[in-house]
Amino acid sequence: MDLKLEGRGVIVTGASRGLGWSAARALADEGANVLAVGRSEASLQVLARGSYAGSIHPQVCDMRDRAQVAALAEIAVERLGRLDVVINNAGIAPAANFLEMDMAVLDETMEVNVASIAVLSQAAGRTFIAQGEGGRIVNIVSTSGILGKATLAAYSASKGAAIQLTKALAAEWARHDIQVNAIAPGAFSTEAQAYVTGNADILAKRVRKIPARRMAEPDEIGPLVCYLSSPLAKFVTGAIYVIDGGETAKQ
């Protein structure tokens, strides 16, 4: 199936590793031009090597700096020629006992996981409307924003907020042909889960909670990211797609 992503301009944040890395490559494989945003210039340069040279364009950005985040839409237009899609993937997940947690942790988590989505989405929305061809925003949230997780209060709260922001923007921008959706991953085998995957006992305990009896590989997020980025998904908006091997379904 042709997803009609050839030549589309896409921003992917948090692209220097994990799900963002996989999403950037999946989109490039479909012919999109990707502005790959992250904190590690070295990792982004590795991402853009080989067959991805010329289709993936590295861009260093601190997602805590609102001015830098807001500038990404203009940078994308300058470097890619146009902006059609934003994948808001960047995020942090600090673990802490809430009774002992410094509220500065909550502030930073909300800044990166919610405010950066709002700032970039606003800048992108203005660009989409100015271009007159609509656009797509895909927010990578988490099943933690649906269920809540012990020791991840700040993260769970931020992802719940991102889910509601997704729905609100979808309702507000549908008339502009801007679709806003979210993907809520469950347990994916990424660098962020090294503590789990690197310990056989912990991994076995984690996998027992998943009906599919395994963790997902990062590349498994790519097909859905590409579909929601595609013109074929023009009537899909305000949806939250869970990819978790059935974990939330059994609750």
Enzyme catalytic residues: 155
How far is Cα 64 from Cα 58, in angstroms, rounded to an integer? 18
Beta strands, E only, 106-234: 135-140, 178-185
Which amino acid, residue 154?
A
- Asked whether the beta carbons of 38 and 14 are under 8 A apart, the reply is yes
Nearest one of 60, 56, 49, 59 to 28, comparing CA atoms: 56
What stretches of the chain adopt beta strand conformation (E)?
Answer: 9-12, 33-38, 56-60, 85-88, 135-140, 178-185, 240-243
Amino acid in the structure at residue 173: W
